[in-house]
Amino acid sequence: MPAGRYAPSPTGTLHLGNLRTAIVAWLAARASGRDFWLRIEDLDRVRSGAEAEQLTDLRAVGLEWDAAPVRQSERSALYEGAVAALRAAHGPDAVYECFCSRKDIAQAGSAPQAGDATDDDAPPAPLRPPGFYPGTCRGLTEAERAERRRERPAALRIDAARVAGLPEGSVPEASARDLLHGEVTGLVDDLVLRRNDGAWAYNLAVVVDDAAQGVDQVVRGDDLLDSAPRQRWLAARIAQAQGRPDAAVEHLHVPLVLNAQGRRLAKRDGAVTLADLAAEDPAWTLEAVRDRLLASLGLPASPLADAVAAFDPAALPREPWVFPGRL
């Protein structure tokens, strides 16, 4: 059955921006007749006790989910299978070792690129985002790889051009459709599939998990909008390599919650979690927080189940919400 999901990382207590996005994800799933899953994205730093706190806060604002939460830390076999399928379908070098640091990539990105347009009449070169990988380790010989292994552990990257069936050095382009932003297009570099510390990379894990769970509705903050085309591209390539259809995915990237200075809301802004708000002012009851979040979305104050009928993705605000810090 089609499903939506919310996928927090248990690195700390959820703040109002996290809870607001979770509410939108839940409403979008329920309004479209989808199941709703909760996935714990715990491949990175994890704070002890954070998962339990997050589940408690999500239930407190009215969310429930249709199956027990799954944890990415328990799904390594799925990620290994995706990498193995890519290599089986496109050759062993379709996924290659990379020894570059972030500093190496940043320095390479600041240098002039071959093929950059210099003629005023020539079409501009495609804009490559910060951190775009230039392919430094793609053509290393086995001897060169062995030498670098002695200096630094390797990450794994996908050879995007090879897997896309394009000439060597080409840069694939991909698109994703978003209910608020329309079609979003971007370039696809050689994405990291496994980091050099051995952890599976977010871009791989999220698309493998979504496919495995039948998730075809992705709701998250619009700070992740630019990653949608690359993830859709990777999802399609893995599906092809595994011999299964790639399900169409409906995206909904919602504006963030900002502080009074116009910066992304964070725990450092003070009372922005359920516990901190209640401690600062007893008037911040769970119902008051829920209703304030619903109002920020243009929805009436009510239990979440009653807000489903009024939910319309097309009517969601297009601008960030600045949290006023008071009732």
How far apart CA 30 and CA 38 sit, in angstroms, is: 14
| Phi, psi for 220 (deg, rounded to 5) | -165, 180
Helix, coil or strand: residue 119: coil
Please, are residues 162 and 93 in contact by the beta-carbon 8 Å criterion?
yes
* pLDDT value of residue 108: 74
Q: Give the integer Cα–Cα distance in Å for 186 and 228.
A: 9
The per-residue pLDDT for 129 is 67
Tell me: do 205 and 259 sit in the same domain.
no
Query: Considering the domain boundaries, does residue 264 fall inside one?
Result: yes
Residue stretches of the chain with pLDDT short of 70:
109-129
Asked if residue 309 and residue 276 are part of one domain, the reply reads yes
CATH code assigned at 132: 3.40.50.620
* CB-count exposure of residue 195 (10 Å: 0-12, 13-18, 19+): middle
Q: Specify the DSSP element, H or E, that contains 185.
A: strand 182-187
Considering the domain architecture, whether residues 81 and 66 belong to the same structural domain is answered as no
Do 235 and 91 lie in one domain? The reply is: yes
Digit-coded pLDDT (tens) for 188-216? 999 999 999 999 999 999 999 999 999 99
Q: Are residues 152 and 297 in the same domain?
A: no
**What local confidence, expressed as pLDDT, does residue 120 receive?**
54
Are 42 and 158 within one domain?
no
Is 327 a member of any domain?
no
Q: Do residues 240 and 314 share a domain?
A: no
**Alpha-carbon gap, residue 207 to 231, rounded angstroms:** 7
Q: What is the pLDDT of residue 111?
A: 53
How many CA atoms lie within 13 Å of 215's alpha carbon, on the beta-carbon side?
Answer: 27
Task: Provide the number of structural domains found in the chain.
Answer: 2
Task: Give the pLDDT confidence of 14-63 residue by residue, as tens digits.
Answer: 999 999 999 999 999 999 999 999 999 999 888 999 999 999 999 999 99
List all residues 6 or more positions away from 120 whose beta carbon is below 8 Å from its beta carbon.
none
Indicate if 205 and 299 belong to the same structural domain: no
DSSP helix/strand/coil, 273:
coil
| Residue 20: closest CA among 292, 312, 318 | 292
- 110 plus 153 within the same structural domain: yes
pLDDT score for 127: 60
Range of the domain at 142: 76-214+230-248
Position 106 scores a pLDDT of: 82
Strand partners, 183: 177
Same-domain status, 115 and 142 = yes
